[in-house]
């Protein structure tokens, strides 16, 4: 047994309202630079839909992830080492910018510069690649809320698999949002595809990163990742990906997407797993067995033997404790309500999802029946085969039983908790019907419904013993300055990278855990602009001038 720790995430899809706040804050934090205009480390897709980039899940087309060869051994679907090197001059499976979208801006200047004229001037869209006028035909969320789906829905690769079912009925009854970040897989096929060996998995927390100094832009990771979560920065010529906000995680803060999530649907925690078992689990012959196999790779942090092995592997004591409190372990292995996205890619993804029950509830409610009655809900889950088969294509390689069970657990929780909330006698037969005890069901309710910040995010800080001297992380990250600082001799982004200061994140944590909303030291000297009547310049409106400045006219 080789114990390793992994930062993992679970998203509760029932709570996602598709507001894209996670995407926007992530973009502001990480990819608001030239070259990454089209890059969304976090994106939210409407399902059914094509996803981003378009039809990324169709691995017969993109050849991402792993597959078993005839001898039953794990092989990269896009071809082995020799094939990768032979196609290095032109990656045959790389998506083009049109599969994402051509980034653009608007010619805002004409709005103010235009001479007096009969018609209102218009800001025309300009391509950020060529600077020319362009026609906008697609972007990352073009089919948001099933917009235009009548024309494009047929391209959804998951829908194709259950195509014999009636499509339009399905479209009317069923829609949900799927937020996606990098999966930080246990068996990452992007890293395996990288000719330079620049993509690595951190031993301490399993975060998968691209070493920007070692990346040579061979582009094999982009086609190697089945989730298409590695992006090519077309200005610097290097691959970039979701970093799991490692500078925040290292000081115990959740990722930006989780921190800003309006629905509070994200959970972050540590998972202990047995690294020796990963390969065997990923090689499981039956695709339907992969979900179960991956769950068995995870180790029970309460098991004394695991704790001993973890200690032997150099995992600090407080990390093991964090693993015991991990909401991820509870959701994945204790309550078993979270499922991995596309286990059939055999990468052992570590961002799991609680499938949405809401479409089922909505249907029951529309029929006028009690949507919180166990019998009604269970019957509806059994009757609504189409949405459930669709969820199964996403989360369990098409096997319906695990999705069915999860939805029944969620339904059982609704009716069990209603009895309690209505002051009735709790009905122990409800949890029993889905194989849970009353206590477990209540714990699950607490975690899913009312968990506080500290329960949703159990993140042990990084263990650099000289943590107080953490000043900046120079190498792992790509954050080139938005403007200037990175205008090196050889074009955009060349030269020595600007390190991210961990101090900033430490400061951020201080601010977020402080008692007051904001307490600047010079608060008493400032003017509250909300109360200012706009007349004159009250004391404190502008910073005090220094003595000699005042003397100059």
Partner 1 sequence: MDIFLWVIVPYLCLTTFVVGHFWRYRYDKFGWTTRSSQLYEDRLLRWGSPLFHFGMLGVVGGHVIGLLIPRSWTAAVGMGDHLYHYVAVIGGLLAGVMTVVGMAILIYRRRTVGPVFSATTVMDKVMYLFLALAIVLGMWNTVAGSIFTIGGEYNYREGVSVWFRSFLAFQPDASLMGEAPIGFKLHALVAFSLFALWPFTRLVHVFSAPLGYLTRPYIVYRSRDDSGLGSHAPRRGWDRVG
Chain positions 160 to 179 lying near partner 1, rule: CB under 8 A, are: none
Whichever of 201 and 408 has its CB closer to partner 1, that residue is 201
In the complex, what is the shortest distance from the CB of residue 38 to partner 1, in angstroms, rounded to a whole number? 9
How far is 470 from 137, CA to CA, in rounded Å?
46
* Choices 52-60, 335-343, 448-456, 460-468 (CB under 8 A): range interacting with partner 1: 460-468
In the complex, what is the shortest distance from the CB of residue 482 to partner 1, in angstroms, rounded to a whole number? 16
Residue that has been written with the tokens 């040579």 in this structure: 216
Whichever of 89 and 168 has its CB closer to partner 1, that residue is 89
Residue 216 as a binder of partner 1 (CB under 8 A): the answer is yes
Residue 243 as a binder of partner 1 (CB under 8 A): the answer is no
Residue 490 as a binder of partner 1 (CB under 8 A): the answer is yes
Whichever of 217 and 540 has its CB closer to partner 1, that residue is 217
Residue 470 as a binder of partner 1 (CB under 8 A): the answer is yes
- 531 backbone dihedrals φ, ψ, rounded to 5°: -95, -5
Name the H helices within 244-349.
Answer: 246-250, 256-259, 275-282, 290-297, 304-312, 317-324, 327-329
Residue 137 as a binder of partner 1 (CB under 8 A): the answer is no
Q: How far is CA 34 from CA 22, 148, 176, 479, 521, in A?
A: 20, 29, 32, 11, 36
Whichever of 132 and 452 has its CB closer to partner 1, that residue is 132
Residue 465 as a binder of partner 1 (CB under 8 A): the answer is yes
Burial string for 29-48 (b: 16+ CB within 10 Å, else e) reads: bbbebbbbbbbbbbbbbbbb
Residue 252 as a binder of partner 1 (CB under 8 A): the answer is no
Token reading at 157: 């690769």
According to CB under 8 A, which one of 5, 11, 192, 253 is a site residue for partner 1?
Answer: 192
How far is 73 from 347, CA to CA, in rounded Å?
14
Whichever of 389 and 476 has its CB closer to partner 1, that residue is 476
**CB neighbour list of residue 235: distance below 8 Å, 6 or more residues apart:** 33, 34, 35, 36, 491, 492, 493
Residue 542 as a binder of partner 1 (CB under 8 A): the answer is no
Residue 52 as a binder of partner 1 (CB under 8 A): the answer is no
In the complex, what is the shortest distance from the CB of residue 296 to partner 1, in angstroms, rounded to a whole number? 20
User: What is residue 31's three-state secondary structure?
Assistant: coil
Q: What is the dihedral of CA 325, 288, 84, 157, to 10 degrees?
A: -100
What is the dihedral sign for C-alpha 99, 10, 305, 292?
negative
Residue that has been written with the tokens 């695991």 in this structure: 306
Whichever of 260 and 486 has its CB closer to partner 1, that residue is 486
In the complex, what is the shortest distance from the CB of residue 55 to partner 1, in angstroms, rounded to a whole number? 16
Residue 495 as a binder of partner 1 (CB under 8 A): the answer is yes
Return the closest-CA partner of residue 240 out of 218, 220, 213, 212: 212
Residue 136 as a binder of partner 1 (CB under 8 A): the answer is no
Residue 191 as a binder of partner 1 (CB under 8 A): the answer is yes
Whichever of 214 and 418 has its CB closer to partner 1, that residue is 214
Residue 295 as a binder of partner 1 (CB under 8 A): the answer is no
Residue that has been written with the tokens 């190697």 in this structure: 224
Does 48 sit behind a cis peptide bond, omega within 30 degrees of 0 on the bond before it? yes
* Choices 111-119, 440-448, 464-472, 528-536 (CB under 8 A): range interacting with partner 1: 464-472
According to CB under 8 A, which one of 148, 474, 485, 538 is a site residue for partner 1?
Answer: 474
Residue that has been written with the tokens 């769950």 in this structure: 295
According to CB under 8 A, which one of 163, 489, 517, 530 is a site residue for partner 1?
Answer: 489
In the complex, what is the shortest distance from the CB of residue 166 to partner 1, in angstroms, rounded to a whole number? 37
Total number of residues that touch partner 1 (CB under 8 A): 73
Chain positions 54 to 93 lying near partner 1, rule: CB under 8 A, are: 76, 81-82, 84-85, 87-92
According to CB under 8 A, which one of 14, 107, 171, 213 is a site residue for partner 1?
Answer: 213
Residue 483 as a binder of partner 1 (CB under 8 A): the answer is no
In the complex, what is the shortest distance from the CB of residue 504 to partner 1, in angstroms, rounded to a whole number? 14
Residue 197 as a binder of partner 1 (CB under 8 A): the answer is yes
* Choices 112-120, 174-182, 199-207, 440-448 (CB under 8 A): range interacting with partner 1: 199-207
Q: How far is CA 341 from CA 63, 178, 193, in A?
A: 17, 10, 20
How far is 331 from 482, CA to CA, in rounded Å?
39
In the complex, what is the shortest distance from the CB of residue 215 to partner 1, in angstroms, rounded to a whole number? 7
- 194 backbone dihedrals φ, ψ, rounded to 5°: -75, 115
Conformational region of residue 264, where left means phi above 0, alpha means psi within -120 to 50, and beta covers everything else = left
Whichever of 137 and 524 has its CB closer to partner 1, that residue is 137
Chain positions 113 to 132 lying near partner 1, rule: CB under 8 A, are: 127, 129-132
Residue 237 as a binder of partner 1 (CB under 8 A): the answer is yes
What is the dihedral sign for C-alpha 229, 234, 236, 238?
positive
Residue 266 as a binder of partner 1 (CB under 8 A): the answer is no
Residue 310 as a binder of partner 1 (CB under 8 A): the answer is no
Does 348 sit behind a cis peptide bond, omega within 30 degrees of 0 on the bond before it? no
Residue 400 as a binder of partner 1 (CB under 8 A): the answer is no
What is the dihedral sign for C-alpha 433, 438, 439, 443?
positive
- 336 backbone dihedrals φ, ψ, rounded to 5°: 55, 50
Q: Which helix (H) or strand (E) holds 513?
A: helix 502-513
């Amino acid at each position: 047994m080789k114990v390793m720790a992994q930062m993992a995430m679970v998203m509760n899809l029932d709570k996602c309202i598709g507001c894209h706040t996670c995407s926007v804050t992530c973009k502001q934090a990480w990819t608001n630079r030239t070259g990454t205009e089209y890059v969304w480390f976090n994106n939210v897709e409407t399902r059914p839909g094509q996803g981003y980039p378009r039809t990324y899940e169709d691995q017969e087309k993109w050849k991402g992830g792993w597959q078993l060869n005839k001898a039953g051994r794990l092989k990269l679907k896009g071809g082995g080492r020799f094939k990768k090197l032979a196609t290095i001059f032109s990656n045959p499976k790389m998506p083009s910018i049109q599969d994402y979208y051509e980034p653009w801006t608007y010619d805002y200047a004409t709005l103010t510069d235009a001479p007096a004229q009969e018609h209102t001037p218009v800001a025309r869209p300009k391509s950020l690649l060529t600077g020319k006028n362009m026609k906008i035909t697609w972007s990352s969320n073009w089919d948001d809320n099933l917009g235009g789906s009548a024309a494009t829905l047929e391209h959804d690769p998951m829908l194709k698999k259950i195509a014999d079912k009636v499509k339009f009925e399905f479209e009317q009854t069923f829609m949900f949002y799927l937020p996606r970040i990098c999966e930080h897989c246990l068996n990452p096929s992007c890293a395996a595809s990288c000719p330079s060996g620049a993509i690595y998995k951190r031993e301490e927390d399993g975060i998968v990163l691209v070493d920007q100094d070692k990346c040579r832009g061979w582009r094999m990771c982009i086609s190697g990742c089945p989730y298409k979560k590695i992006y090519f920065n077309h200005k610097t010529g290097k691959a970039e990906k979701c970093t799991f906000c490692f500078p925040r995680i290292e000081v115990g803060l959740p990722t930006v997407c989780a921190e800003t999530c309006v629905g509070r649907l994200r959970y972050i925690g540590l998972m202990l797993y047995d690294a020796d078992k990963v390969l065997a689990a990923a090689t499981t012959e039956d695709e339907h067995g992969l979900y179960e196999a991956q769950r068995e790779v995870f180790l029970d942090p309460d098991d004394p033997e695991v704790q001993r092995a973890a200690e032997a592997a150099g995992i600090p004591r407080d990390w093991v404790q964090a693993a015991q409190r991990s909401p991820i372990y509870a959701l994945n292995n204790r309550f078993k309500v979270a499922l991995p996205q596309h286990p059939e890619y055999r990468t052992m993804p570590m961002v799991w999802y609680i499938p949405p029950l809401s479409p089922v509830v909505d249907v029951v409610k529309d029929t006028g029946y009690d949507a919180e009655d166990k019998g009604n809900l269970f019957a509806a889950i059994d009757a609504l085969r189409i949405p459930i088969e669709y969820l199964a294509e996403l989360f369990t390689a098409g096997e319906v039983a695990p999705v069915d069970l999860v939805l029944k657990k969620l339904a059982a929780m609704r009716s069990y908790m209603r009895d309690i909330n209505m002051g009735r006698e709790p009905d122990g037969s409800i949890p029993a019907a889905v194989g849970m005890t009353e206590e477990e069901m209540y714990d699950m309710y607490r975690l899913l419904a009312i968990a506080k910040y500290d329960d949703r995010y159990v993140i042990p800080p990084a263990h650099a013993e000289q943590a107080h001297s953490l000043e900046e992380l120079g190498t792992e990250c790509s954050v080139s300055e938005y403007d200037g600082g990175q205008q090196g001799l050889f074009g955009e982004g060349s030269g020595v990278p600007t390190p991210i200061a961990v101090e900033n994140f430490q400061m951020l944590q201080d601010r977020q855990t402080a008692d007051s909303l904001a307490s600047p030291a010079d608060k008493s000297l400032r003017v509250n602009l909300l109360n200012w009547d706009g007349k004159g310049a009250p004391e404190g409106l502008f910073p005090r001038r220094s003595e000699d400045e005042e003397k100059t006219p």
